[in-house]
Amino acid sequence: MDEGTIGRTLAEWGEKPFRARQIAEAKRAGARTWDDVTTLSKPLRQRLAAVGPLWSVTPDERLTSRDGTVKWRLMLGDGRLVEAVLIAHAQGRRTLCVSSQVGCALACRFCATGSMGFGRDLDANEIVEQGLIARHAAEQDGARLSNVVFMGMGEPMQNLPAVLEACAAFHAEEGLGISARSIAISTAGWVPGIEALSRHPLPVRLALSLHAADDQTRGRLMPINARYPIANVLAACRRYCDRTGRRVFIEYLLLDGVNDSAADARNLAALLRDGRFHVNLIEYNPTDGGYVASPVGRRETFVNALANAGIDASVRRSRGADVDAACGQLAARGPSPGPSGPVGPRRT
């Protein structure tokens, strides 16, 4: 149950406001059901249980990769499934990769989530609870949840109000206390969302999944390019930079023989010449899309070509691939007792 509903319900019943804090603390300490919230009287717990479950999101399966990456399959109240991934870094830091939708409408050819079709938007509380689950797991490991990236299932810009509400909770001191600069929203290039984010007061970061330096190649990889071609998306990113003073991360997946030639590197450098971008070259993680990752040598050549052209670039190593927890591999496969199937695309 989300905090708003809890607060309103308790107020209606004439309960003291600190009851809501007790519930939040119990969730933080690992309470799974209302019965675990032992700071409340039994009758109050029973009354609350009749309104709705303590959690809107329940871990259904937890897999740990050889590199320490944890992937949860999470069940929502209506039986649908999403995934969240917690990535371990040095110095006890952890990054959570959250989902913002069940499935995705954008059908990027290289992405497992894209092949599922669109299910529904998550509400803010369903996103926030992914953060609570991750924080608890990090703390149990003696680590700290320091970063959140919206790079799980879904296109966050198509669910921006809920995503921003969740960002505010991640950021809030009484929420997860994560610095806004350590929260990143990644988009396939949904221009209205980029515009809205550029005017939003919370200074969260923007990442653009570009993946190609010409419209023909990008159009083949990402159907959204027909609606928002490269020039339009980069113009929106530049407006974001101008309004916020923050650089934009460019995500670029290196696909063997598709977008990784010397000419591709030159074209990419030309597009990003004005220094307002940082390029993350991403290792392709196998999905059913039929693509192959660029060989290591070509990846090195590509990153050097960008560096020589004065473009800031780094290679982002893949994590969690052995449990399908890496970028683009999230598809929440497996049996589900509820109506978890996608219901087809929308809003494109």
> What are the phi and psi torsion angles at 143 (to 5°)?
-115, 180
Active-site hit among 111, 167, 237, 327: 327
Q: Is 69 in the site for ligand SAH (CB under 6 A)?
A: no
Q: Is 102 in the site for ligand SAH (CB under 6 A)?
A: no
CA distances from 322 to 97, 148, 236, 327 (A): 16, 22, 36, 12
Q: Any alpha helices (H) in 222-281, and if so which ranges?
A: 230-244, 262-271
For residue 115, give the nearest of 346, 342, 322, 335 by alpha carbon: 342
Closer residue to ligand SAH in complex, CB, 122/253:
253
119 class by beta-carbon count within 10 Å (0-12 exposed, 13-18 middle, 19+ buried): buried
Q: How far is the CB of 284 from ligand SAH (least distance, A)?
A: 5
CA distances from 94 to 70, 100, 131 (A): 10, 19, 11
Long-range CB contacts for residues 18-27, cutoff 8 Å, separation at least 24: 19/44, 23/54, 24/174, 27/54, 27/55, 27/132
- Candidate segments 28-36, 130-138, 226-234, 282-290, binder of ligand SAH by CB under 6 A: 282-290
For the window 314-333, what string marks contact with ligand SAH as x by the rule CB under 6 A?
Answer: -------------xx-----
Please say if 83 is a catalytic residue: yes
Active-site hit among 3, 83, 155, 251: 83
Would you give the distance in Å from CA 177 to the centre of its chain? 18
Q: How far is the CB of 320 from ligand SAH (least distance, A)?
A: 11
Q: How far is the CB of 343 from ligand SAH (least distance, A)?
A: 18
Q: Is 54 in the site for ligand SAH (CB under 6 A)?
A: no
Subset of residues 20 to 49 that bind ligand SAH, contact rule: CB under 6 A: none
Q: Is 188 in the site for ligand SAH (CB under 6 A)?
A: yes
Instruction: Choose, by CB under 6 A, the member of 37, 76, 282, 313 that binds ligand SAH.
Output: 282
- ∠ CA 254-259-260, nearest 5°, is 65
Q: Any alpha helices (H) in the chain, and if so which ranges?
A: 3-12, 18-28, 42-51, 124-140, 160-171, 191-198, 215-221, 230-244, 262-271, 296-308
Closer residue to ligand SAH in complex, CB, 40/84:
84
Q: How far is the CB of 47 from ligand SAH (least distance, A)?
A: 39
Instruction: Choose, by CB under 6 A, the member of 168, 284, 294, 331 that binds ligand SAH.
Output: 284
Q: How far is the CB of 206 from ligand SAH (least distance, A)?
A: 10
Q: Is 99 in the site for ligand SAH (CB under 6 A)?
A: no
CA torsion through residues 163, 72, 110, 203, sign:
positive
Computed on alpha carbons and rounded to an integer, the radius of gyration of the chain in Å comes to: 21
For the window 133-172, what string marks contact with ligand SAH as x by the rule CB under 6 A?
Answer: ------------------x---x-----------------
Q: Is 251 in the site for ligand SAH (CB under 6 A)?
A: yes
Q: What is the distance between the alpha carbons of residues 96 and 135, in angstroms, rounded to a whole number?
A: 9
Q: Is 253 in the site for ligand SAH (CB under 6 A)?
A: yes
Closer residue to ligand SAH in complex, CB, 48/327:
327
Q: Cβ distance 49 to 6 under 8 Å?
A: no
Q: Is 209 in the site for ligand SAH (CB under 6 A)?
A: yes
Please say if 15 is a catalytic residue: no
- Per-residue tokens: 132: 């609570």
Per DSSP, the three-state class of 200 is coil
- Candidate segments 18-26, 45-53, 186-194, 298-306, binder of ligand SAH by CB under 6 A: 186-194
Q: How far is the CB of 210 from ligand SAH (least distance, A)?
A: 9
For residue 153, give the nearest of 127, 174, 129 by alpha carbon: 127
Closer residue to ligand SAH in complex, CB, 40/163:
163
Binding residues vs ligand SAH (CB under 6 A): 110-111, 151, 155, 186-188, 209, 251, 253, 282, 284-285, 287, 327-328
Task: Cite the active site residues.
Answer: 83, 327
